[in-house]
Structure 1
Amino acid sequence: IDRIKKENDSMQVNLMHLKGEDINSLNHKELMVMEEALQNGLSSISAKQSEILRMVRKNDQILEEEHKQLQYASHQKEMAAMGGNMRVIQEEVYHQRDRDYEYQMPFSLRVQPMQPNLHERM
């Protein structure tokens, strides 16, 4: 039990030192060991942070590419839908022109019911 108590006290003191508390009691060698441990921890954190940043950028590029593909597919569908609508609109315009042409044509050039030979041609 005494051994465990001493070990626990030692760990408590080490934890206080790592927190930056009561470091005046440490000698030069112990301070160097602590500094090295802190440097290793800092470099490990920096490496992890860089890895996460790289992954975020890669995911961002993937999402941008997927967004472009979805926009392209959406645009293609819109164009296909508009193409079908354009055909209907063009047919309506064509038939409307035919109707308008009849009204724009002078009355004398229109097919008259009294002229059966013209009726048969048309």
Structure 2
Amino acid sequence: MARGKIQIKRIENQTNRQVTYSKRRNGLFKKAHELSVLCDAKVSIIMISTTHKLHEYITPTVTTKQVIDQYQKVVGVDLWNTHYEKMQEHLKKLKEVNRNLRMEIRQRMGESLTDMGYEQIVNLIEDIDTSLRLIRERKYKVISNQIETGRKKLRNVEEIHKNLMLEFDAKEDDQHYRLVGNNGNYDSVLGYPNGGPCIVALRPPPPNHYNHHHHHNHNNHHSNFLHQCGGASASDLITFPLLE
């Protein structure tokens, strides 16, 4: 079955266009390879697709640079020199821009003003005033942000303090956390053994009408009391509990 003749024009469908490009590229590279082998020719093909992909075929016995160098000799042109001249021209422009920028920086620092005319100086003053205005605006904005940050931190500290005070008040109202209340036990809170501290006083000699038995019991009573108050023992001492 004979193939239909394809009209030579741009293929609108992108998918079909890419498929056709891939098939024809492979066919073209195949023909170039056959030509280079059969005829001992130097063939170099460079192709760039619409998606900016580079495809190249070069005869295996040579390099692309060798083919281009031979092309320059045959045609009589210097592709590298032209490219070098363009690069030199671009470098010259960049150096000029750099020189002008450096001069502008020195002038803004109050240097290299000798060659400036009146209008240039006026323009420089206006530029500096504009720069100062923008810098001050930025400065005030930074200060405002710092003040607002400080206020937020202060509010956080106040909130923490408020919560701590509320927690403290809650513990004060809770009997579990109260140390001593109106009816609290001071001895148990302070940790004094045997009823707490005592006041110790000297006891004068007993009257003669006390009998020996009564005197002996009384001394035993005070000795026990002294023992409770600190382990002392003396028959002539009278002790009184401190917190009674």
Same fold, judged at TM 0.5 (above): yes
* Runs of 5+ consecutive residues of structure 2 not aligned to the other structure: 1-88, 188-244
1:60 to 150, 160, 169: 150
**1:89 matched residue in structure 2:** 180
Say if 1:72 and 1:39 are closer, same or farther in 2 by CA, change over 3 A: same
Which structure's residues are more often strand, by fraction? Answer: 2
1:42: how far off? 0.4
* Equivalenced residues, count: 96
Residues 1:41 and 2:131 aligned together: yes
Say if 1:5 and 1:67 are closer, same or farther in 2 by CA, change over 3 A: closer
Larger radius of gyration: 2
1:71: how far off? 0.4
Say if 1:6 and 1:57 are closer, same or farther in 2 by CA, change over 3 A: closer
1:65: how far off? 1.7
Aligned to 1:90, the other structure's residue is in SS state coil
Say if 1:50 and 1:77 are closer, same or farther in 2 by CA, change over 3 A: same
Deviating more after overlay: 2-11 vs 57-66: 2-11
Deviating more after overlay: 46-55 vs 15-24: 15-24
**2:101 matched residue in structure 1:** 11
Residues 1:30 and 2:120 aligned together: yes
1:91: how far off? 7.9
1:67: how far off? 1.4
Deviations along 1:23-45, whole A, 9 cap, x unmatched?
02100111111111110110001
Percent identity, please. Answer: 9
Aligned to 1:21, the other structure's residue is in SS state coil
- RMSD, aligned α-carbons: 2.7
Say if 1:7 and 1:93 are closer, same or farther in 2 by CA, change over 3 A: closer
In structure 2, what is the Cα distance between the partners aligned to 1:58 and 1:5?
46
Say if 1:79 and 1:29 are closer, same or farther in 2 by CA, change over 3 A: same
Say if 1:93 and 1:5 are closer, same or farther in 2 by CA, change over 3 A: closer
Give the TM-score taking structure 2 as reference length.
Answer: 0.35
Say if 1:12 and 1:52 are closer, same or farther in 2 by CA, change over 3 A: closer
Aligned to 2:180, the other structure's residue is in SS state helix
